[in-house]
Structure 1
């Protein structure tokens, strides 16, 4: 007997644009409607704990680790043993997200990209595109201050935002943009809820 695959929703975007908060809101709404859901995340922190560089110091190796670990996390989340099967997997940092961070890091460091290495990582990320029922891409709002506890490089943060949306456009990947406007985020949560209610197996 074939087990139905869960709905997979990924989020991507530069840091401190509300990715995790958005997924938490979606998770709460889905659970409130009785839909079993699993959420992945903390890839950047886990990569750092493994001794890999992060943010503007990302390398091809750290990018590959994040992409492959994210894939493994999503597979494990979908197979997680619970009283009932998981119907929705929410991926905090979809596969293309790591690629955007890497491209931004190379530009920030003013490095000349290795075309073969970039293409290898692009192909790796592209294997996941069809697995997502929906991709949400947050948009950087320069008018919103970053919490003082975060010592982010503003130029790098903006570069990640640029490369996130450039990659999605260049590769013609269907996605939904999510801005910082409260109504826009609420609409995104409602859209995901309706998608899951229509497609999730009761």
Structure 2
């Protein structure tokens, strides 16, 4: 891959504590082992909260727009710094899923034009993803009890993630909590990157 080439972008989305960050860490480790330069984005929810914006079931139009926009900036910065592969922890549609789930959770109806605007913004990022992984909620897997997660909201996000992907016919690969599914996702990502490296 030449220095002037666009980096490969591998993105993941899914409800919280379904292995997104762990999956990207594994992919990153494998790619670095093959000598590739890798950048990984993330921490958008925490950074939004640090900026004074609501998160989780309290998401608003404003916080959703901030997360999508900041994610775009992070990806652009990683590419500008010469990364051959950019691993995106939370694809743009992830923010839409959290926003829609928050609206359902609070029994509110999002303003139609605002939802369409946010969805259009998120959709601009889809052509940039070379691979998109969607994690699948498995409630039998224990989660970190230090997090005060609302189980109902977590299910709502999972449902919204997969509904968005299906309704908009967005190409993606599902990743379950099964170790074989995780290992296969890592293998697919690594092979895709190595194939591009040889071109």
TM-score, normalised to structure 2, is 0.97
Structure 2 unaligned segments of length 5 or more: list them.
Answer: none
Aligned pairs for 1:53-72 (under 5 A) are: 53-72=54-73
Runs of 4+ in 1 over 3 A off after TM superposition: none
Q: 2:29 is matched with which residue? A: 28
| SS of equivalent residue, structure 1 residue 45 | helix
Q: Which moved more, 1:175-184 or 1:143-152?
A: 143-152
The number of aligned residues is 198
Structure 1 unaligned segments of length 5 or more: list them.
Answer: none
2:144 to 142, 147, 151: 147
2:112 to 103, 110, 115: 115
Q: 1:73 is matched with which residue? A: 74
Shift in alpha-carbon separation, 1:184–1:5, aligned structure 2, 3 A: same
TM-score, normalised to structure 1, is 0.95
1:168 to 160, 165, 168: 165
| SS of equivalent residue, structure 2 residue 93 | helix
| SS of equivalent residue, structure 2 residue 181 | helix
Separation in 2, partners of 1:183, 1:130: 28
Shift in alpha-carbon separation, 1:2–1:33, aligned structure 2, 3 A: closer
